[in-house]
Structure 1
Amino acid sequence: MNRLIALVLIGCAFSAGPSSGGKEVTWIEAWLIPDPGLFMWTLVTFFIVLIILKVAAWKPLMDALDAREKRINDALSSADKAREEAEKVSNEYDEMIKKAQAEAQDIVAKSKEAGDNLRNEIERKAQEKADELIEKSNKQIDSAKAKAIDELKSISIDLAIKAASKVLDKNLDDNTNRDLAKSTINEAN
């Protein structure tokens, strides 16, 4: 700023501007070569206006720009905070979803395991009942078989006695005959 003032003053001092004292000045000379008195008053007026603007307008203008810059920075920082908060909430939401999915998979796995255990228990009980029924049936079959064998032996004894009595043509005592036939059949087994 000081350099500018010095240059202006030097320019004024060395400029030998046209004066209206006796010589006719053309419009080109009036535009190109300024009048030194007018030039000095123009500079003084310019610097007075510059000082007034610096005092009156520059400070409020700079304050307004600083306030605007502060509002913009505050808005940017609040936007950054909001973005960070949104990312945090998004991450928490993703974590909750993952946790819920893991719990759901755990529940499904436990349900499947419980179902498998129940099926195995039902199969085991059905197998036990089937085994009991088979064993009971086998006992009944064995009992019926034994009964049938006993009946067959009794019938065989009666037939053997009848055959023997016909062969011998004599009738022996029934109890003695039975004992004799039983011992003969038992020997045959």
Structure 2
Amino acid sequence: MNLNATLLAQIVVFLILWWFTMKFVWPPITKALDERAKKIADGLAAADKAKLELSAANKRVEEQLAQTREEATKRIADAEKRAQSIVEEAKKRADEEAAKIIAQAKAEAEQQMIQAREALREQVATLAVKGAEQILRREVNASVHADLLNRLKTEL
């Protein structure tokens, strides 16, 4: 065989193989590579989108946490103010109640003192009459001398 014929046959076989490869083998490989590249690009885009969504969600969570902390601080401050006002109100009521009790006790003590004075006057009057009776050695009638005894009570 001739070198030219072999070379020519190899060129023809190469061209047929090249045509067959370009017509039937290369398009599915290219299509698969393009699909794979598209999937990778979609995955990267989804990952970037997820990163943005995650950072936005983290930002929203931080804002909500800050707002919740602020609200909790306000509620605690309000509760402390309310507790303080309740304590102050209770102290005020206790002071008022103590003042009432003291006033009642003073009034009761004054009343008892007046009663004790009256009882003491009665006893002094009785003792004075008994003393006068013994001095005079005769009986003094209390009903007869009521006016005298009343004057004696008022003077004491």
TM-score, structure 2 normalization: 0.65
Q: Residues 94-173 of structure 1: matches in 2 within 5 Å?
A: 94-169=58-133, 173=148
State the shift of 1:84 in Å.
Answer: 0.9
Q: Tell me which of 161, 171, 180 is aligned to 2:155.
A: 180
State the shift of 1:80 in Å.
Answer: 1.0
Q: Residues 22-41 of structure 1: matches in 2 within 5 Å?
A: 35=1, 37=2, 39-41=3-5
Q: Residues 45-60 of structure 1: matches in 2 within 5 Å?
A: 45-48=9-12, 50=14
Q: What are the superposed Cα offsets for residues 136-167 of structure 1, whole Å, 9 maximum, x if unpaired?
A: 11111100100110111122122223323332
What is the alpha-carbon distance in structure 2 between the residues aligned to residue 144 and residue 75 of structure 1?
Answer: 99
SS state at 2:109 partner: helix
**What's 1:75 paired with?**
39
**What's 2:49 paired with?**
85
What is the alpha-carbon distance in structure 1 between the residues aligned to residue 150 and residue 82 of structure 2?
Answer: 62
Q: Match of 1:177, as an amino acid?
A: L
What is the alpha-carbon distance in structure 2 between the residues aligned to residue 129 and residue 174 of structure 1?
Answer: 50
What is the alpha-carbon distance in structure 2 between the residues aligned to residue 165 and residue 148 of structure 1?
Answer: 25
What is the alpha-carbon distance in structure 2 between the residues aligned to residue 73 and residue 44 of structure 1?
Answer: 39
Q: Match of 1:118, as an amino acid?
A: R
What is the alpha-carbon distance in structure 1 between the residues aligned to residue 128 and residue 155 of structure 2?
Answer: 11
What is the alpha-carbon distance in structure 1 between the residues aligned to residue 15 and residue 69 of structure 2?
Answer: 78
How many residue pairs get aligned? The number is: 144
What is the alpha-carbon distance in structure 2 between the residues aligned to residue 137 and residue 64 of structure 1?
Answer: 104
State the shift of 1:133 in Å.
Answer: 1.9
TM-score, structure 1 normalization: 0.56
Q: What are the superposed Cα offsets for residues 76-99 of structure 1, whole Å, 9 maximum, x if unpaired?
A: 222211101112212222333343
What is the alpha-carbon distance in structure 1 between the residues aligned to residue 15 and residue 45 of structure 2?
Answer: 43
Q: Which has the higher contact order (CA 8 A, sep 6+)?
A: 2
Matched-pair identity in %: 13
